[in-house]
Structure 1
C-alpha cells in the first residue's frame, strides 16, 4: 500500500510540474499570451526553476529551451525517486529512456486534457478568458483533422478523433516504457 501511495504521489507531483513546464513551452511557441489565469498558474508553478535555468540557457528563437530542460529534469527526478523507492538497481541504465517516455506521456495526457476542456467549452458556449486560451492551444492540433472530417449535424467530431488517436499513442508509449523496464 505504501508503495502505491508513494508512486501515485510521485506521478501527481512530477506530472504537474512537468506538464506546467511543457505548457509554458507550448504557450510560448504558439505565442499565446500569459495574461490569463492559465498563464498565471503556469508562471506560479514554473518560475522558480525556469528563471534560474534561463540565465544559463537562453531561448532559441521561439523555443524556450529552459522550459524543456526543466520538464526533462522533473521527469528524471521523478524516475530517480521511483527507482530508489523500488530498489531496481538494474534499471538505472534505462533512466534517460524512462524519463523520455514519461515526458511524452505527460505531453499526450496534457493535450488530451486540453482537448476535453475545449470540447466541453464548445458545447456550452463558454465566454471566459480561458476559452480563448484553450482554443488557441488546441487549434494547431485540431485544424488538420477539421479539414478532412466533415461536421455531422453541425457537430465537430475532430476532437473525438484526436482523443482516440492520442489514447492509442498512450497505449503504445506505455507498452514501450514497460518493455524498457523489463
Structure 2
C-alpha cells in the first residue's frame, strides 16, 4: 500500500513539473508569448530547473534543450526514487524515464485537446482560451484537412484523441518489449 501511495504521489508531482517543462518547450516552439496566465504558471513551476540547465544547454534554433532535459531529469528522478523500494536493475532507469517522458507528452496532448474541446463548447472569453486554441491548432490541423464538419460539429478533436490513445497503447507494448 505504501508503495502504491508513493508511486501515485510521485506520478502526480512528476506529471505536473515535467508536463510544465514540456509545455514550456511547446509554447516556445509555437511562439506563444508567456505574458498570459498559462505562461506565468509555467514559468513559476519550471524556472528553478530550466534556468540553471540553460547555462549549460543552449537552445538549438527554437528547441529549448534545457526544458526537455529538465522534463527527462524529473522523470528519471521519479523512477530512481521508486527504484530504491523495488531494487531492480538500475540500468533500466534511463529507458523508463524516456518512456515516461514520451507518455507524459502524449498525456499532455490528450489533456490539451480535452480542454480545447470543452472551451470550444462554452466559448469562454478568456486569455487562456486563446492560448489553448493556439496550442491545439497545430495538432488538429492535419485532422481538419481530412475530416469535414459533420452537422456543424468539428470531429477532429475526437479523431486526435483516438490516435493519441492508440499511441499510448503502442508505447506501453513497446516499453514492455524493450524492458523484458
Classify the TM-score, shorter chain.
over 0.9
How big is the shift at 1:176?
Answer: 2.2
Gaps of 5+ in 1: none
How big is the shift at 1:174?
Answer: 1.8
Question: In the alignment, does 2:164 pair up with 1:162?
Answer: no
Partner of 1:82: 82
1:33-60 deviation digits (Å, cap 9, x = unpaired): 1111111110000001111111111111
Contact 1:18 1:71 in 2 (8 A): yes
1:9-47 deviation digits (Å, cap 9, x = unpaired): 111111111101000000001001111111111000000
Partner of 1:32: 32
Please give the alpha-carbon distance, in whole angstroms, between the structure 2 residues aligned to 1:51 and 1:102: 22
Partner of 1:132: 130
Partner of 2:103: 105
Equivalent residue for 2:139, pick from 134, 138, 141: 141
- Normalising by structure 1, what TM-score? 0.95
Partner of 2:115: 117
Question: In the alignment, does 2:71 pair up with 1:56?
Answer: no
Please give the alpha-carbon distance, in whole angstroms, between the structure 2 residues aligned to 1:116 and 1:10: 24
1:57-90 deviation digits (Å, cap 9, x = unpaired): 11111011110110111111111111112121x2
How big is the shift at 1:180?
Answer: 3.7
Partner of 1:14: 14
Partner of 1:94: 92
- Normalising by structure 2, what TM-score? 0.97
Partner of 2:42: 42
Please give the alpha-carbon distance, in whole angstroms, between the structure 2 residues aligned to 1:84 and 1:172: 28
Q: 1:83 to 1:179 in 2, by over 3 A?
A: farther
How big is the shift at 1:181?
Answer: 4.0
Report the aligned-residue RMSD. Answer: 1.0
> How many residues matched?
180
Query: Tell me, what secondary structure is at the counterpart of 1:60?
Result: coil
Question: In the alignment, does 2:137 pair up with 1:153?
Answer: no
